[in-house]
Structure 1
Amino acid sequence: MINKIAVLGAGTMGHGIAEAFAMYGYDVNLYDTDENKLKDAIKVIEEELKMLVEANFIESQSVGITLERITVFTDLKQTVEDRDYVIEAVPEILELKQNLFKQLDEYCPSHTIFASNTSSLPLTSMMELISDKRKEQMIVNHWYNPGHLMPLVELSYFGNMPDDLFKEVEQLYNSIKKQTVKVLQDIPGLIANRIQQGIAREVFSLIEMGAATPDDIDKALKFGPAFRYATTGQLEITDLGGLDIWCTVGDNLLKVMDNSQHANEMLRQKVAEGKLGMKSGEGFYEYKKDEISAVKKRFAEKLIHQLKASEFYIDRSSIKEEVPN
């Protein structure tokens, strides 16, 4: 049974993953080589928890209780030597991850399950340096940012892990109210990122051709497709609208839509100009330095509102059955 968690890397994703597990009662060790980064992570976690209190998502006493469940370390061996489940959220560098997992194979108990938050590196490559037995206990678990709010976690189901162990991992995520997606093929980007990139490609193309302003393009997405996507998947939407209609519209539109195989050149030009978005003060929109924290807070508040609403969502399996192949 999985009770003790370790999260390696206290950055954007790592701190949110640690926070999510701690919120739901798990004993969490958070590791980073940078002690200052660990201190900053705890401060950010506390701020995020207080925001959840303000939104009536958790009780005020939960802030202190959650923080007490997180212990920080700069020593890797001490971090993982008694853990049941270890998640790495370190930079997307294959050699770095390979060597990290090799160390974990030496430091961790024999039953410990290893997980990677990657969405771009192959599982088989990351576990090249670990023992054959441990390869049966390794999985990709890709979280979405911000980890403490976004309910999605993608889990690899590539045949290396026994079903009973996979179900144990699945149950772990269910216990912290995450929606899990079983990914059947070891493909770059997994599922959600590939869908997102498909939408982004057309959005950037529409801006490039001057079809509408950035604000109106975002509005079209937020109050059009994305409004339905908040509760209804694309395949459900297709069934509701009629496959014949979607087939006809696809024939008419897809041939005139962007089918480029690389990042949009307009996007590349903005990067070259240092227009990186909120982190630089300008991207498709402009951001005043003293307003950025407020913008981020509004974004988090909207996600919290959606998260609260999602608890009332009816699982599609309760109202229909999937058509077998």
Structure 2
Amino acid sequence: MQHPLSVTVIGAGLMGHGIAQVFARAGNRVTLTDPNQAALDAAVKHIARNLAEMKIASEPVLANIATESELSRAVMTADLVIEAVPEKLALKQRIFTDVAKWAPGHAILASNTSVIPITLIGESLDANARARLLGMHWWNPPHLIPLVEVIRTAHTSLDVFQAGFDLLLAVGKLPVKVHQDVAGFIGNRLQHALWREAFALIEAGVCDAETIDIVIKNSFGMRLSVLGPMENADLVGLDLIREVHAILFPDLNCSKAPSPLLSQCIEQGNFGMKSGKGLRTWTPQQAEEVRHRLATLLISMNAPAGSL
């Protein structure tokens, strides 16, 4: 595809504005669309704040971003459409039905879903649109986390699969190819397997939520960014790993249902930071400090050597 691209991001919330920022910063023309005008206005402010936090001039990036509340107008000239709306299958299906009708026939169609199989999202599309549909799962915050999972369905054209991968490389991301359309893809299957065991430990009275965070942040979590689990297995030795698994695996949680602890918190109105309490208790200041601490760390990790 030609450069600059015409990119449309659907959904101006938590993920959408960061995805728009990445493509705009790389010099592409970006249209950010959402039926909620207040969300669009807030998204522009969030992007400006992100850029200030990164010590990047906001004017050139914001000049590449337009906002549009009408989906049909937002996608009519798009080369790439990325959907970043809430994780509701029917909503995503409806959006892609409309996008396939209104966007150019060459446009790559991508969903940022974190868990829903892409095949389900595109099941009502015609063959041409299904061939152009893939998963493009970004991680929060998308403007700071390098990885993007690119997911191919049985219907996705190999050319489209490669083109989506290449577009992400061109804007400075680290894409990986997911060759089978499994729920949760790679990263979330791994992350939620850890969460399932963490919730089970709390439910069993082994420890509390704060202890879980202390243990992870001050042990294996410290090395994960430089030593992945497969590297660590080879480092430790596969013979020892097998011995550990023979003892440990029979005792690990293998529930097929969400944790009762989650249901208990939700029924009590405890949703997490947004309500002031979840597994732990949060003031607005504490929640903002977590966000700021994470952003500062990720910015430093992404900075060129010697720039800080």
Alpha-carbon deviation of 1:216? 3.1
Matched, 1:292 2:294: no
TM-score by length of 2: 0.92
| Structure 2: unaligned runs, 5 residues or longer | none
What is the match of residue 89 of structure 1?
Answer: 84
Cα distance in 1, alignment partners of residues 43 and 179 from structure 2: 33
Cα distance in 1, alignment partners of residues 115 and 291 from structure 2: 26
Question: Which of residues 186, 189, 199 is equivalent to 1:191?
Answer: 186
SS in 1 for 2:274: coil
Cα deviation 1:51-78 (Å, max 9, x = unaligned): 111xxxxx4x3x1111111100012122
Cα deviation 1:23-81 (Å, max 9, x = unaligned): 2222110001111110011111111111111xxxxx4x3x1111111100012122111
The answer as to whether partners of 1:120 and 1:188 remain within 8 angstroms in 2 is yes
Question: Which of residues 21, 24, 44 is equivalent to 2:23?
Answer: 21
Tell me the percent identity: 36
Letter in 2 for 1:12: L
The answer as to whether partners of 2:165 and 2:177 remain within 8 angstroms in 1 is no
The answer as to whether partners of 1:15 and 1:41 remain within 8 angstroms in 2 is yes
How big is the alpha-carbon RMSD for the aligned residues of Structure 1 and Structure 2?
A: 1.9
Cα distance in 2, alignment partners of residues 4 and 254 from structure 1: 49
* Count of aligned residue pairs for this structure pair: 304
| Structure 1: unaligned runs, 5 residues or longer | 54-58, 313-325
SS in 2 for 1:147: coil
Question: Which of residues 162, 175, 199 is equivalent to 1:180?
Answer: 175
TM-score by length of 1: 0.87
Question: Which of residues 262, 267, 271 is equivalent to 1:272?
Answer: 267
The answer to which structure, 1 or 2, has the higher relative contact order (CA under 8 A, 6+ apart) is: 1
SS in 2 for 1:30: strand
The answer as to whether partners of 1:281 and 1:288 remain within 8 angstroms in 2 is yes
Cα deviation 1:153-207 (Å, max 9, x = unaligned): 1111234233333222111111222222211222111111110011111222222
What is the match of residue 36 of structure 1?
Answer: 38
SS in 1 for 2:40: helix
Cα deviation 1:199-224 (Å, max 9, x = unaligned): 11122222233333433321221122
Letter in 1 for 2:138: W
Cα distance in 1, alignment partners of residues 231 and 30 from structure 2: 38
The answer as to whether partners of 1:101 and 1:129 remain within 8 angstroms in 2 is no
The answer as to whether partners of 2:165 and 2:176 remain within 8 angstroms in 1 is no
Cα distance in 1, alignment partners of residues 278 and 120 from structure 2: 35
